[in-house]
Amino acid sequence: MQAVHPNVITGVALPRRAATTIALMVAFALATAALAQLRIPLPGTPIPVTGQTLGVLLAGAALGSRIGAGSMLLYVTLGAIGLPFFAGGEGGLTYATGSTFGYLAGFVVAAWLVGWFAEQRHDRSVRTAIPAFLIGSAVIYTLGVAWLWASVESIPTLGAALDAGFSPFVVGDLAKALLAGLTLPVAWMLTDRLRRYEL
C-alpha cells in the first residue's frame, strides 16, 4: 500500500509505513463513524445535522488525497455492509443508497480534494486552510443536494432540495470548516516545534 503523502501532517509526524497508513485509514473511518452519532434531526428534511463532515475534512487534510479518500471509502463501505456507522447508528445498503447517498459520495470526493490541497501545503496557514475546507464542504453539498433533487419524490425542485439539504446546515458547516481551518495550522505549528526540539 502507498504511504501517506510526505507533505501532509501524518506523513511528517509518523513513520511512512504501510501498517501506519492502514491504521490511519481505519482510525479516521472510525472517527467519522463516531462523529456521525452526534445527530440532530431537523424538521422538513431527511438529512440530520451530524459531525461527519468535520471527520471528512480532517481525514483529507491529515492523510492526503488518496489515503484520505480511501479512508472515507472505507467508512462508507463499512456502513453500507451493515455496521452502525451512519447518522443515528444507521447502516446497510438501503440507507447508503437512499436520500443521503449524494452526501456519502461527496465525503469521498471532498476528502480527496481537501487532501490535494494539503499536499500543496494549503493546510499550514489559516489563510489558505479555511478556503480549502470550505471548498471541500461545497463539494459535499453539491453532490448531496443534487442526489436529493434527483431521488426524493417529495423534493421536486432545486429550490426545495436546497431548502432540505443545504440551507439548514450552512451555519454548522461553516463552523466545522473554521474549526478544521484552525486545527491544522495549530497542529503544524506544534509538529514543527517538536521536530526542532528533537533536532
pLDDT tens profile 123-132: 999 999 999 9
Q: Would you give the DSSP letter of residue 48?
A: P
What CATH number did the domain enclosing 159 receive? 1.10.1760.20
Phi, psi dihedrals of residue 49, rounded to the nearest 5°: -75, 130
| pLDDT tens readout for residues 131-186 | 999 999 999 999 999 999 999 888 889 999 999 889 888 888 899 999 999 999 99
For residue 2, pLDDT beyond 80: no
Whether 199 is covered by a domain: the verdict is no
Give the three cell numbers for residue 1: 500500500
| pLDDT tens readout for residues 27-72 | 999 999 999 998 777 777 667 778 899 999 999 999 999 999 999 9
The pLDDT value recorded for residue 16 is: 81
Phi, psi dihedrals of residue 44, rounded to the nearest 5°: 85, 5
Closest CA to 72 of 54, 88, 89: 54
Phi, psi dihedrals of residue 54, rounded to the nearest 5°: -65, -40
> For 103-158, what is the HEC assignment?
HHHHHHHHHHHHHHHHHCCHHHCHHHHHHHHHHHHHHHHHHHHHHHHHHCCCCCCH
Whether 91 is covered by a domain: the verdict is yes
The pLDDT value recorded for residue 19 is: 92
What integer is the mean pLDDT of 13-24? 91
Whether 2 is covered by a domain: the verdict is no
What integer is the mean pLDDT of 71-95? 95
Whether 198 is covered by a domain: the verdict is no
Closest CA to 191 of 7, 67, 16: 7
> What is the rounded CA–CA span in Å between residue 123 and residue 132?
8
The pLDDT value recorded for residue 49 is: 78
Whether 31 is covered by a domain: the verdict is yes
- pTM (predicted TM-score): 0.92
State which residues form the domain around 172: 9-191
The pLDDT value recorded for residue 31 is: 97
Q: How many distinct structural domains can be found in the chain?
A: 1
The pLDDT value recorded for residue 198 is: 59
CA dihedral (120, 182, 27, 31) positive or negative = negative
Whether 49 is covered by a domain: the verdict is yes
